[in-house]
Amino acid sequence: MSRAAVESAGWAIPAFGIGTVQKVAYSGTHGVIANPVGEQTVIVEVMATTHCQIAVGETPVATVNSSPLAAYTPKLIKVRPPGGESGFAGDKISAIRITDSGTFYVTEQS
C-alpha cells in the first residue's frame, strides 16, 4: 500500500516516483518518443528545452495547432497505458518547435 507524502501541517503533497525517462529532439519536424508509456503508467511529466507544442496519442503528430508547452516548465499529463482497448499499444508524446529546436523529456510517474 502506498502512502501519500505529507507536509508538516498534515496536508497531502502530490508527489510521484520517477520512472522511465525518454527524450527526443524536435525541430520544424515533430519528434516523438520511441516507446509508448509503460503498462502501469497513467501520468507522465513532460518538459522541453524550448517553447514547443505537444500532442498525445497512439501515433501522435504535434503541429502548430497542438497544445503549447513553455520551455523548462514541467507539466503533468494524463496518458493511456497499453491494453485497455483491444490492441491499443499505449500513448506516445510528440513535440514540435514554436521557434527554436530543442529536446523534449517524458518521465513516467509512479
Reported as a single tens digit per residue, the pLDDT across 48-86 is: 999 999 999 999 999 999 999 999 999 999 999 998 667
Instruction: Give residue limits of the domains in the chain.
Output: 16-109
Residue 105 has a CB neighbour count (10 Å cut-off) of 18
- Say which residue the cell 520517477 belongs to: 18
Quote the pTM value: 0.85
- In the DSSP assignment, the letter for residue 106 is E
pLDDT tops 60 at residue 46: yes
Reported as a single tens digit per residue, the pLDDT across 12-36 is: 777 788 999 999 999 999 999 999 9
Instruction: Report residue 1's pLDDT band, with 50, 70 and 90 as the boundaries.
Output: very low
Fold (topology level) of 16-109: Jelly Rolls (2.60.120)
